[in-house]
Structure 1
Amino acid sequence: MADIAPGTTNSGTDSIVYSLEQVVHAAFALGLPVAAWRLPLATETTVCITFDKDLKISKPALESSPYGFVFSPFVVGEQPSIFVKADIVYSSETGHIRFSKAVTEAQKQEFIITLKQPQTTNYSWHLHASETINQQTETGFKSAVTEAIATINSGHMEKVVLSRTALKPLPSSFNLVAAYRLVLQSYPGAFVSLVSVPEVGTWLGASPEILVSIDPQKIFRTVALAGTQPALDGEPVGNAIWRQKEIEEQGMVERYILSCFKKLRLREYTEVGPRTIVAGNLMHLRTDFSVDLKEVDFPTLGTDMLELLHPTSAVCGLPKEPALTFILEHEGYNRSYYSGYLGPVNSPQGTHLYVNLRCMQLLKNEAILYAGAGITGESDAEKEWQETQHKMQTMQRILANFE
């Protein structure tokens, strides 16, 4: 981290080199919210920690937000949107920590003292306030898919995304930071994140899907990502054969993004795709959209598109309103932060919000794995179940390393 993060100061820098484990464990020991992430194809992990007690925000205003990390649920209101302000920033590349100007001297000293204490292996990550778990069974999922197909074919909606969960025991040797490092190694092209907030819970994931991104060069980006099949073992992606169902599904997501641009009367954008991309053990169809904000006078494009896009048709459906209603009535459980969005806001690397996919929520002794599938009129309940099985392998492979 060569540049000083917005809102931080060199005067609060501790020049001692610390490990990621020390920083995360210190946050847990002090009961502080923590967010760690690595951007796709990057090497640096950044950590934000805040001393704030009230983390809830109504909705982010990206352009005016301080530096921090946003964590929002699938349905805003059922769970709060959380903002972890960058009171403490750590870079894995330098091993140094920086404190923002808002941090008191007493807070600095308390954190540094905690950092330097011997680490114990019996630390605990932050847990959700309630351990009540609503599960979606195989029978329930397939029944919902069958009902969705009938609803689509009756003309009430074009597509709906249905998801499910799987509860897995945590191996006795499971270590959260070690698991985060394994995700980094296993999925270099994904946005990798670890978010742990008191009362809200702890989530680990590797998402392939950009929601809204604005880099330091003021380039806005979003993607249409849909269609799924297992990756071809050792074969080039150009050999992938896509069914009409996946092509139509991806086209729906593209058209929705274009409709958002149209609502904002935005015509100056670049579109590239669709093309086949690999994300872990899966392949998807992806189309990239970009807007040069230096050439287009649209200072609030990031916030405006975030409000229009979330929840995207890739995780909800089309049209959005009937699809969301169908999900809430038939999915059978609360998605919580799965298929919400998360990422850094106004960091030195820009604002990068991703859809919270390929993730798991950590309980005390178990992990909840999440996965979904896009349902169209041509869907088959058994094939959609298998698609969720494939998607859950992303996190299952991480857990298997500790068995």
Structure 2
Amino acid sequence: MGDTTQNHTLEQIFGAAIAGQKAVAVWRLPLSQKVQACMQLGQQYTTGQPQLEASPFGFFFCPFQVSAQEQNIFIKGDLYFDGEKLAPAADAPEKQLQEFYTLLQAPPSINGWHTSANLENHTFQTEQGFMRAVEKAVEAIQAEQMEKVVLSRNSLQALPENFSPVAAFQAMADAYPRAFVSLVSVPGVGTWMGASPEILVSINEQQEFHTVALAGTQTAVENVADAIWRQKEIEEQAMVERYILSCFKKLRLREYTEVGPKTIKAGNLMHLRTDFKVNLKVVHFPTLGTDMLELLHPTSAVCGLPKEPALQFILAHEGYNRSYYSGYLGPVNSTSGSHLYVNLRCMQLQQHEANLYAGAGITEGSNPQREWQETQHKMQTMGKILSEY
């Protein structure tokens, strides 16, 4: 049975995973047409700190901060879908494999998805609360307690009637060709969807390590060459760059290429981005992916600088639980390598509503009303999918 491949649609596979209480991850890499998915047949999903190089093929889904409620999740690739065929791993458990194939033959049930066991713990940040937190953050930055902090919030939006996560995933993939598009559904943990513009750690099949400094936000213009950036955004992006360089320094890594900053489009927004790459065939650093992951997360683009006071400020003043928003996710040791992205421009599916998330980088020059508007714009990435569905 180990080498059996079968033709099935993504709807059938996702539906069978939900019906069988299995964890499933669906993704599409930036500038790719290929939709991929993997499923785990067993029930043990939680894991410790990810070790990328030693990991079997699968999909990591990790929170902003590990807690008793939100833990690092690893979906082992017992079954892999390459966009056309579904194939089992050599070590996939035979009995559960047969049970899953039986579920695949059944007519797909309603458009269901796994929901979180912790929904009653969800809190929401009000406009007034968010703007007050921004004011406090500016005061703390002026008092030199930190240089920058990222404050975020969430908002509920009703799901359209007959909502289908798979159809919404395909709409996201069409709307955001340059983003990492994902749909992750885990029993007890819930279902998250997103279109992230930000690489955290990537190692491709050519053994090239890649990370980015991404910061600064404004509404997209037709031609990126016409973008004009304020000092606030330029400084914010430079902070993220400096943080990545400080991580390289800690690891005594000197051989890397740096390109940027340049203006990039991400849906209806533009950001400043600098790319950092390391050729692992030339530089002998076998654990660079795992080491950088530990140093980078949470990045200054989702937390702040210096990291510790910014994190403490977030926990004290943000006023709600980020859960898996601004954590990271992506496939590891797949045929195209390991690609972990920051979980931005995302939403969590509840039974009848979607919980949308967005954040803004606060520096000394921040204006509370303007930062609120920035989170509104960022929520449109997912809001657009729900409204045009």
- Structure-to-structure mapping, 1:3-402, within 5 angstroms: 11-15=2-6, 17-78=7-68, 79-92=70-83, 95-120=84-109, 122-132=110-120, 133-232=122-221, 235-402=222-389
Q: For the Cα contact (< 8 Å) 1:196–1:202, is it kept in 2?
A: yes
In the aligned structure 1, how far is the partner of 2:93 from the partner of 2:350?
Answer: 32
In the aligned structure 1, how far is the partner of 2:186 from the partner of 2:98?
Answer: 22
Aligned counterpart, 1:7: none
| Unpaired segments ≥5 residues, structure 1 | 1-9
AA matched with 1:267? R
Q: For the Cα contact (< 8 Å) 1:13–1:96, is it kept in 2?
A: no
In the aligned structure 1, how far is the partner of 2:67 from the partner of 2:254?
Answer: 33
The percent of aligned pairs where both chains have the same amino acid is 61
Name the TM-score, length of structure 2 as normaliser.
0.98
AA matched with 1:124? G
- With 311-320 and 123-132 compared, the bigger mean Cα shift is at 123-132
Question: Shift of residue 35 of structure 1?
Answer: 0.4
* 1:64-100 alpha-carbon deviations (Å, 9 max, x no partner): 10000000000123510000000000111xx211111
Q: Secondary structure at the match of 1:272?
A: strand
| Unpaired segments ≥5 residues, structure 2 | none
In the aligned structure 2, how far is the partner of 1:109 from the partner of 1:65?
Answer: 25
- With 326-335 and 46-55 compared, the bigger mean Cα shift is at 46-55
CA RMSD, Structure 1 to Structure 2 (Å): 1.0
Question: Shift of residue 176 of structure 1?
Answer: 1.1
- With 341-350 and 95-104 compared, the bigger mean Cα shift is at 95-104
Q: Secondary structure at the match of 1:56?
A: coil
In the aligned structure 2, how far is the partner of 1:119 from the partner of 1:34?
Answer: 16
Question: Shift of residue 297 of structure 1?
Answer: 1.1
In the aligned structure 2, how far is the partner of 1:201 from the partner of 1:328?
Answer: 23
Question: Shift of residue 174 of structure 1?
Answer: 1.4
In the aligned structure 2, how far is the partner of 1:309 from the partner of 1:201?
Answer: 25
* 1:157-185 alpha-carbon deviations (Å, 9 max, x no partner): 00000000011111113111110110010
Q: For the Cα contact (< 8 Å) 2:171–2:385, is it kept in 1?
A: yes
Q: Secondary structure at the match of 1:57?
A: coil
After TM superposition, the runs of 4+ consecutive aligned structure 1 residues lying more than 4 A away are: none
Question: Shift of residue 124 of structure 1?
Answer: 2.0
Name the TM-score, length of structure 1 as normaliser.
0.95
